[in-house]
A = this chain, B = another copy of it.
Amino acid sequence: MPIAEATRFPHTLFAMIPIKIETESIRTSSRSQMIEVTSLVQKIVSRHNVQEGFVIVHVPHTTAAITINENADPDVKHDMLRKLAEMVPKHESYYQHGEGNSDSHVKTSLVGNSVTVLFTGGRLVLGTWQGIQFCEFDGPRTREMMVRVVSFD
C-alpha cells in the first residue's frame, strides 16, 4: 500500500459538517489571569459527535488573549504572568492611550488572540502538559470566546 493511502481514512471524500460558531462566556476575577478552557472547548467538539477536524478559538477582545501552555503546575501561570508584567509594565512614561491599559494591548498581540487546535477521534490533540489557556490582561471582566468547529467526517 503506498504511503499516501496508508495515511488516509478509508473514505473517498469527506464533506464539511455545517456547524455554527458558538460563543462561550468567561468570567475573570483579576487584572491578569490565565484560565484553562480545554474542557470547555472539548465539550463543544463532543456535543457535535464529530471525529476529525480542527477548532478555531477566537477571543474577540483587544486586551485578552489565548494560548496553549502548562495545564498542571499553577506556578507556571504565576511565572508567565509575572514575567509578562515585568516585560510590559502597566505604566510607561511614553504611553499616550488614555485608558491606562496599553500594556494589556501589547500583551494581547504578543500572546495572540486565537488558536487552532486539531482533533481526531473526537478528542482535541494536545500534548500531556498542554491546556488551552484564556489570558485576561485587563480584568476582572466578563469575556467571550468564539469557537468554530470545522469537521470533515
Residues of A within 8 A of B (CB): 3-4, 7-9, 11-22, 47-49, 52, 54, 56, 58, 60-62, 67-70, 73, 75-76, 78-80, 82-84, 86-88, 92, 94-99, 102-103, 105-106, 108-118, 120, 125-130, 144, 146, 148, 150, 152
Q: A60-B127, A70-B105, A79-B97 are in contact. Are A16 and B16 (CB under 8 A)?
A: yes
Complex alpha-carbon distance, A114 and B115, angstroms:
8
Q: Name A's interface SS.
A: mixed
Kindly list 16 other residue pairs between chains A and B, CB separation below 8 angstroms, not including A20-B120, A62-B70, A75-B98: A8-B19, A8-B48, A16-B152, A56-B118, A58-B117, A60-B126, A62-B68, A69-B109, A70-B105, A73-B98, A75-B97, A79-B95, A79-B105, A82-B92, A109-B111, A127-B144
Which residue of chain B is the closest to A6 with respect to CB atoms?
B20
Whether B68 contacts A113 by the Cβ 8 Å rule is yes
In the complex, how many angstroms separate the beta carbon of A143 from the nearest chain B beta carbon? Answer: 10
